[in-house]
Amino acid sequence: MKKTVKQFQKSAKIHWQKIVAGLIWKPETAGEQIQGLVANRQTIETKFGIAPQLEIRDGDTSALLLTSKAGLKLLNRVPLGTPVRVTYTGTKAVKGRKTMMDTFTIETPVGTELEDDWATSFYKKEMSPAKSLKTRARKSR
């Protein structure tokens, strides 16, 4: 038999806490930083295709980072549950292009061993030879 919320609260004596939904971290000035535990990794659909996303949780708050950005790709190798600090260091010009690139400093505790890039292995698994041939055919039109 399922318990009602009131029955569950009485039996477990739960203390509730408010959890704030993850917001995408968009730093604006150099020196802004975010720190916490790497809590979750997933892929999301964007207007540019599938992109890897990482959640950094600090207590009751969490922030989402799109790790497809060149400066954040290293985060795809940080193991789940690892403390991490990401500092926005500003923008720099990309050689041979008219665009600017966001740059970041990524720090983990001394001795942290990085894993294989989970996003790269996801793309390899998802992009089977049949799928990649269809994609190439569409692009060549």
What tokens appear for 101 in the block? 């690139």
The answer to which of 23-27, 54-58, 136-140 has the lowest mean pLDDT is 136-140
In this predicted structure, the answer to whether residue 85 has a pLDDT above a threshold of 90 is yes
Confidence of residue 20 (pLDDT cuts 50, 70, 90): low
What is the chain's length?
141
Say which residue, 47 or 135, is predicted with more confidence: 47
Q: Specify the fold of 18-112.
A: OB fold (Dihydrolipoamide Acetyltransferase, E2P) (2.40.50)
How far is 58 from 86, CA to CA, in rounded Å? 13
How far is 33 from 17, CA to CA, in rounded Å? 25
How far is 41 from 59, CA to CA, in rounded Å? 18
User: Strand 49-58 and strand 61-66: pairing?
Assistant: antiparallel
Q: Where are the domains of the chain?
A: 18-112
Say which residue, 13 or 55, is predicted with more confidence: 55
- At 133 the pLDDT is 46
Closest CA to 42 of 12, 61, 20, 22: 22
* Phi/psi of residue 94, nearest 5 degrees: -95, 125
What tokens appear for 9 in the block? 């609260």
Chain-wide mean pLDDT for the chain? 80
pLDDT tens digit sequence for 29-62: 999 999 999 998 888 888 888 888 899 998 888 8
Neighbours of 114 (CB within 10 A): 13
pTM above 0.75, yes or no: no
Segment holding 62, helix H or strand E? strand 61-66
- At 68 the pLDDT is 84
How far is 71 from 45, CA to CA, in rounded Å? 20
pLDDT tens digit sequence for 111-134: 999 998 887 766 666 665 555 444
The mean pLDDT of 68-75, rounded to a whole number, is 88
Say which residue, 78 or 2, is predicted with more confidence: 78
